[in-house]
A and B are shown apart, each in its own frame.
Chain A
Amino acid sequence: MPDSTPFPSQLELSQPEKTFLDSNELILNMGPQHPATHGVLRVILKLDGEKVLGTECVIGYLHRGVEKIGENRTYAMFNPYVDRMDYVAAVSNGLGYCEAVEKLLQVEAPRRANYIRVILTELNRLASHMLWLGTHALDIGAMTPLFYTFRDREEILKIFEKYCGARLTTHAFRIGGCLYETYDGFERDVKKFIDFVPPKIDEYEELLTSNRIWVERTKNVGKISADDCKALGVTGPVLRASGVKWDIRKALPYAAYPEFAFEIPVGANGDTYDRYLVRMQEMRQSLAIIRQAVEGIPEGPIMAKVPKVMKPPAGEVYHSIEAPKGELGYFIVSDGSTQPYRVRVRPPSFVNLQALDLMVRGQLVADVIAVVGTLDIVLGEVDR
Chain B
Amino acid sequence: MTKLKTRYGSGVREASSYVGQNCLILDSSITHEILNILCQEEEFDYCVDLTAVHYPKREKPFDLVWILYSFPRNQRLRVKTMLGEQESFPSSVPIWSGTNWLEREVYDMFGIRFDGHPDLRRILLPEDWKGHPLRKDYGIIEQDQQWVQAHLGIESGQ
Contact = CB atoms under 8 A, between A and B. Distances in A.
A350 B124 CA distance: 11
A327 B98 CA distance: 14
Interface in A326-373: 327, 329, 331, 333, 341-342, 344, 346, 350-351, 353-354
A83 interface: no
A151 interface: no
Contact of A231 (B18, B74, B96, B122): B96
B67 A331 contact: yes
A244 B67 CA distance: 20
Interface stretch (B1-9, B30-38, B43-51, B146-154): B43-51
Contact of B53 (A317, A341, A351): A341
Contacts of B109: 67
A69 interface: yes
A252 to B, nearest CB: 7
B19 A315 contact: yes
A331 B53 CA distance: 10
Interface residues of B, number: 35
Interface stretch (A7-15, A16-24, A57-65, A175-183): A57-65
B96 A233 contact: yes
A230 B98 CA distance: 8
Contacts of B97: 231-232
A103 interface: yes
A257 B67 CA distance: 23
Interface in A207-254: 230-234, 244, 246, 251-252
B91 interface: no
Contact of A331 (B45, B65, B122, B124): B65
A354 B47 CA distance: 14
Q: Report whether over half of chain A's contact residues are helix, strand or loop; otherwise say mixed.
A: mixed
B98 A331 contact: no
A59 to B, nearest CB: 7
Contact of B98 (A106, A233, A316): A233
Contact of A69 (B19, B65, B71, B140): B140
A274 interface: no
Interface string A108-128: 000000000000000000000
A150 interface: no
B124 A383 contact: yes
Interface string A81-107: 000000000000000000000011010
Contact of A344 (B18, B51, B98, B99): B51
A63 B21 CA distance: 30
A63 B51 contact: no
A354 B101 CA distance: 7
A380 to B, nearest CB: 13
A272 interface: no
Interface of A: 59-60, 63, 65, 67-69, 71-72, 103-104, 106, 230-234, 244, 246, 251-252, 315-318, 320, 327, 329, 331, 333, 341-342, 344, 346, 350-351, 353-354, 383-384
Given A230-B46, A329-B49, A331-B67, 15 more contacts: A60-B122, A60-B123, A63-B124, A65-B133, A67-B134, A72-B140, A231-B45, A251-B74, A252-B74, A252-B76, A318-B76, A331-B51, A346-B48, A351-B101, A354-B98
